[in-house]
Chains A and B, each alone.
Chain A
Amino acid sequence: MSAPVSAPMLLLVSLLGLWVAIGFLGLLRPTSLRLVAHILFPSGAAVGAAIALTAAWSITSPTERWVLGIGLPDLPVHLQRDALSSVFLFLLGAASAGISLFAAGYFRRGEGTLPGLLCLQYHLFLASMGAVLLAADAYSFMVSWESMALTSYFLVTTQHRIPEIRQAGFLYLLIAHLGAIGILLSFGVMQGGSWQFTFDAMRTAELSPGWASAAFLLALVGFGAKAGLVPMHVWLPEAHPAAPSPVSALMSGVMIKTAVYGVLRVTFDLLDDPAWWWGLVAMALGLFSAVYGVVFAAAQTDMKRLLAFSSIENIGLLFTGFGLALIFHAAGMSAPASLALIAVLYHAVNHSFMKGLLFVGTGAVLHATGQRNLGRLGGLIHRMPWVAWPTLIGALAIAGLPPLNGFVSEWLLLQAFLSAHEVPRLFLNMLLPLGTAVVALAAALAGYVMVKFFGVVFLGQPREATLADAHDAGWRERLGMIWLAAGCVLLGLFPNQAISFFALVPTQFGLLEPGATFGRWWLLDPVAGRQASYAPLVFLSIVLLCVVATILVVTRVYRRRVRRAAPWDCGFARLDSRMQDTAEGFGQPIRHIFEPFFGMRRELPSPSDTTPHYRVEISDRIWTGLYVPAATLVQRLAQAVVQLQQGRVSTYLIYSLVTLLVLLGFAL
Chain B
Amino acid sequence: MELLALLAFPVLGAAVLAVVGARRWAPEVNVGFSAATFAAACALTSRVIGDGSFTAFGEQFFIDAFNVFLVTLTAFVSLTTSLFSRPYMRIESEHGRVRPQHLRLYHSMYQLFIAAMLLALTSNNMGMLWVAMEAATLSTVLLVTLYRTPASLEAGWKYFILCSVGIAQALFGTILLYFAAERVLGGSGMTALLWTNLNEVKGQLEPEVLTLAFVFLLVGYGTKVGLAPLHNWLPDAHAEGPTPISAVLSGLLLNVAIYAVVRCKVLVEGSLQSELPSRMLMAFGLLSVVLAALFLWRQKDVKRLFAYSSIEHMGIITFAFGMGGAVANFAALLHMTVHSLTKSAIFYSVGHAAQKTGTQTIDDIRGLVTVSPTVGWGLMMGTLAILGMPPFGVFASEFLILTTAMRQEPWSTPILLLALGIAFAAVFRRVQPMVFGETTAKRLPHSPALLPVFAHLALVLLLGVSIPPYLADWYRMAAELISGQ
Q: Which residues of A contact B407 (CB under 8 A)?
A: 195
Output the nearest chain B residue to A167 by Cβ-Cβ distance. B432
Q: Are A656 and B437 neighbours in the complex by a CB distance under 8 Å?
A: no
In the complex, whether B291 has a CB less than 8 A from a CB of chain A is: yes
Output the nearest chain A residue to B166 by Cβ-Cβ distance. A656
In the complex, whether A160 has a CB less than 8 A from a CB of chain B is: yes
Q: Which residues of A contact B414 (CB under 8 A)?
A: 185
Q: Are A649 and B157 neighbours in the complex by a CB distance under 8 Å?
A: yes
Q: Are A72 and B400 neighbours in the complex by a CB distance under 8 Å?
A: yes
Q: A139-B399, A150-B389, A667-B276 are in contact. Are A634 and B219 (CB under 8 A)?
A: no
In the complex, whether A641 has a CB less than 8 A from a CB of chain B is: yes
Q: Are A655 and B395 neighbours in the complex by a CB distance under 8 Å?
A: no
Output the nearest chain A residue to B429 by Cβ-Cβ distance. A170
Proximity bits, B222-242, A CB within 8 Å = 1, else 0: 010000011011010000000
Q: A142-B390, A161-B437, A197-B403 are in contact. Are A652 and B162 (CB under 8 A)?
A: yes
Q: A160-B436, A166-B436 are in contact. Are A645 and B425 (CB under 8 A)?
A: no
Q: Which residues of B contact A634 (CB under 8 A)?
A: 294, 297, 422, 425
Give the Cβ gap from A125 to chain B, nearest Cβ, in Å. Answer: 13
Q: Which residues of B contact A659 (CB under 8 A)?
A: 219, 229-230
In the complex, whether A184 has a CB less than 8 A from a CB of chain B is: yes
Output the nearest chain A residue to B405 by Cβ-Cβ distance. A188
Output the nearest chain A residue to B406 by Cβ-Cβ distance. A188
Q: Which residues of B contact A528 (CB under 8 A)?
A: none
Q: Are A73 and B219 neighbours in the complex by a CB distance under 8 Å?
A: no
Proximity bits, B441-480, A CB within 8 Å = 1, else 0: 0000000000000000000000011110100100010000
User: Which residue of A160, A170, A664 contacts B215 across the interface (Cβ within 8 Å)?
Assistant: A664
Proximity bits, A636-658, B CB within 8 Å = 1, else 0: 01110110110001001101101
Q: Are A660 and B390 neighbours in the complex by a CB distance under 8 Å?
A: no
Q: Are A653 and B165 neighbours in the complex by a CB distance under 8 Å?
A: yes
User: Which residue of A72, A160, A177 contacts B424 across the interface (Cβ within 8 Å)?
Assistant: A177
Which of chain A's residues 345-377 have a Cβ closer than 8 Å to chain B? none
In the complex, whether A146 has a CB less than 8 A from a CB of chain B is: yes
Output the nearest chain B residue to A159 by Cβ-Cβ distance. B436
Q: Are B280 and A666 neighbours in the complex by a CB distance under 8 Å?
A: yes
Q: Which one of B157, B295, B391 has the greatest number of beta carbons of chain A within 10 Å?
A: B391
Q: A185-B417, A649-B158 are in contact. Are A146 and B219 (CB under 8 A)?
A: no
Q: How large is the interface on B (under 10, 10 to 19, 20 to 34, 35 or more residues)?
A: 35 or more
In the complex, whether B169 has a CB less than 8 A from a CB of chain A is: yes
Q: Are B466 and A69 neighbours in the complex by a CB distance under 8 Å?
A: yes
In the complex, whether A635 has a CB less than 8 A from a CB of chain B is: yes
Q: Which residues of A contact B469 (CB under 8 A)?
A: 73
In the complex, whether A390 has a CB less than 8 A from a CB of chain B is: no
Give the Cβ gap from B2 to chain A, nearest Cβ, in Å. Answer: 28
Q: A642-B298, A663-B215, A667-B276 are in contact. Are A169 and B425 (CB under 8 A)?
A: no
Q: Are A146 and B395 neighbours in the complex by a CB distance under 8 Å?
A: yes
In the complex, whether A546 has a CB less than 8 A from a CB of chain B is: no
User: Which residue of A146, A639, A664 contacts B389 across the interface (Cβ within 8 Å)?
Assistant: A146
Task: Please measure, in the bound complex, the distance between the C-alpha atom of A71 and the C-alpha atom of B233, giving whole angstroms.
Answer: 38
User: Which residue of B169, B230, B276 contacts A655 across the interface (Cβ within 8 Å)?
Assistant: B230
Give the Cβ gap from A140 to chain B, nearest Cβ, in Å. Answer: 10
Task: Please measure, in the bound complex, the distance between the C-alpha atom of A575 and the C-alpha atom of B403, giving whole angstroms.
Answer: 69
Give the Cβ gap from B484 to chain A, nearest Cβ, in Å. Answer: 21
Task: Please measure, in the bound complex, the distance between the C-alpha atom of A659 and the C-alpha atom of B417, giving whole angstroms.
Answer: 26
Give the Cβ gap from B446 to chain A, nearest Cβ, in Å. Answer: 25
Summarize A's interface: helix, strand, loop or mixed. Answer: helix
Which of chain A's residues 202-244 have a Cβ closer than 8 Å to chain B? none
Q: Which residues of B contact A139 (CB under 8 A)?
A: 396, 399
Proximity bits, A147-191, B CB within 8 Å = 1, else 0: 100100000010011010010011001100110010011001101
Q: Which residues of A contact B466 (CB under 8 A)?
A: 69-71
Q: Which residues of A contact B424 (CB under 8 A)?
A: 174, 177
Summarize B's interface: helix, strand, loop or mixed. Answer: helix
In the complex, whether A143 has a CB less than 8 A from a CB of chain B is: yes
Q: Are B215 and A161 neighbours in the complex by a CB distance under 8 Å?
A: no
Please report the total number of A residues contacting B with Cβ < 8 Å.
52
Task: Please measure, in the bound complex, the distance between the C-alpha atom of A644 and the C-alpha atom of B162, giving whole angstroms.
Answer: 15
Give the Cβ gap from B403 to chain A, nearest Cβ, in Å. Answer: 6
Q: Are B295 and A188 neighbours in the complex by a CB distance under 8 Å?
A: no
User: Which residue of A169, A170, A185, A197 contacts B413 across the interface (Cβ within 8 Å)?
Assistant: A185
Q: How many A-B residue pairs have CB under 8 A?
A: 148
Task: Please measure, in the bound complex, the distance between the C-alpha atom of A150 and the C-alpha atom of B396, giving whole angstroms.
Answer: 16
Task: Please measure, in the bound complex, the distance between the C-alpha atom of A659 and the C-alpha atom of B288, giving whole angstroms.
Answer: 13
Q: Are A160 and B369 neighbours in the complex by a CB distance under 8 Å?
A: yes
In the complex, whether B438 has a CB less than 8 A from a CB of chain A is: yes
Q: A70-B466, A143-B391 are in contact. Are A644 and B291 (CB under 8 A)?
A: yes
Q: Are B165 and A174 neighbours in the complex by a CB distance under 8 Å?
A: no
Output the nearest chain A residue to B291 by Cβ-Cβ distance. A641
In the complex, whether B52 has a CB less than 8 A from a CB of chain A is: no
Task: Please measure, in the bound complex, the distance between the C-alpha atom of A622 and the C-alpha atom of B417, giving whole angstroms.
Answer: 24
Q: Are B406 and A189 neighbours in the complex by a CB distance under 8 Å?
A: yes
Give the Cβ gap from A517 to chain B, nearest Cβ, in Å. Answer: 43
Give the Cβ gap from B371 to chain A, nearest Cβ, in Å. Answer: 13
Q: Which residues of B contact A146 (CB under 8 A)?
A: 389-391, 395
Task: Please measure, in the bound complex, the distance between the C-alpha atom of A43 and the C-alpha atom of B6, giving whole angstroms.
Answer: 53
Proximity bits, A527-546, B CB within 8 Å = 1, else 0: 00000000000000000000
Q: Are B406 and A667 neighbours in the complex by a CB distance under 8 Å?
A: no
Q: A72-B396, A146-B389, A660-B219 are in contact. Are A649 and B212 (CB under 8 A)?
A: no
Q: Which residues of B contact A177 (CB under 8 A)?
A: 389, 421, 424
Q: Which residues of A contact B223 (CB under 8 A)?
A: 656
Q: Which residues of A contact B402 (CB under 8 A)?
A: 184, 188
Q: Which residues of B contact A638 (CB under 8 A)?
A: 294-295, 297-298, 426
In the complex, whether B218 has a CB less than 8 A from a CB of chain A is: yes
Task: Please measure, in the bound complex, the distance between the C-alpha atom of A150 and the C-alpha atom of B384, giving whole angstroms.
Answer: 9
Q: Which residues of A contact B417 (CB under 8 A)?
A: 181, 184-185
Task: Please measure, in the bound complex, the distance between the C-alpha atom of A634 and the C-alpha atom of B367, giving whole angstroms.
Answer: 27
In the complex, whether B428 has a CB less than 8 A from a CB of chain A is: yes
Output the nearest chain B residue to A114 by Cβ-Cβ distance. B373
Q: Are B232 and A645 neighbours in the complex by a CB distance under 8 Å?
A: yes
Q: Are B395 and A170 neighbours in the complex by a CB distance under 8 Å?
A: no
Task: Please measure, in the bound complex, the distance between the C-alpha atom of A145 and the C-alpha atom of B389, giving whole angstroms.
Answer: 10
Q: Which residues of A contact B464 (CB under 8 A)?
A: 143
In the complex, whether B211 has a CB less than 8 A from a CB of chain A is: yes
Task: Please measure, in the bound complex, the distance between the C-alpha atom of A25 and the C-alpha atom of B217, giving whole angstroms.
Answer: 55
In the complex, whether B420 has a CB less than 8 A from a CB of chain A is: yes
Output the nearest chain B residue to A639 by Cβ-Cβ distance. B298
Give the Cβ gap from A623 to chain B, nearest Cβ, in Å. Answer: 16
In the complex, whether B433 has a CB less than 8 A from a CB of chain A is: yes
In the complex, whether B8 has a CB less than 8 A from a CB of chain A is: no
Q: Which residues of A contact B219 (CB under 8 A)?
A: 656, 659-660, 663
Q: Which residues of B contact A666 (CB under 8 A)?
A: 215, 276, 280
In the complex, whether B415 has a CB less than 8 A from a CB of chain A is: no
Q: Are A656 and B230 neighbours in the complex by a CB distance under 8 Å?
A: yes
Q: List 12 A-B contacts (CB under 8 A).
A: A73-B469, A139-B399, A145-B390, A157-B436, A170-B428, A174-B428, A177-B421, A191-B403, A634-B422, A656-B166, A656-B223, A664-B212
A-B interface, 8 closest residue pairs, ranked by CB to CB distance from nearest: A160-B436, A70-B466, A638-B297, A73-B472, A188-B406, A146-B390, A641-B294, A652-B232
Known: A72-B467, A188-B406, A656-B223. 17 other contacts (CB 8 A): A147-B389, A169-B432, A174-B428, A181-B421, A184-B402, A185-B413, A197-B403, A638-B297, A638-B426, A641-B291, A645-B232, A653-B161, A653-B162, A656-B165, A659-B230, A660-B215, A660-B216
Residues of A that sit less than 8 Å from B by CB? 69-73, 139, 142-143, 145-147, 150, 157, 160-161, 163, 166, 169-170, 173-174, 177-178, 181, 184-185, 188-189, 191, 195, 197, 634-635, 637-639, 641-642, 644-645, 649, 652-653, 655-656, 658-660, 663-664, 666-667
Residues of B that sit less than 8 Å from A by CB? 157-158, 161-162, 165-166, 169, 211-212, 214-216, 218-219, 223, 229-230, 232-233, 235, 276, 280, 291, 294-295, 297-298, 367, 369-370, 384, 389-391, 395-396, 399-400, 402-403, 406-407, 413-414, 417, 420-422, 424-426, 428-429, 432-433, 435-438, 464-467, 469, 472, 476
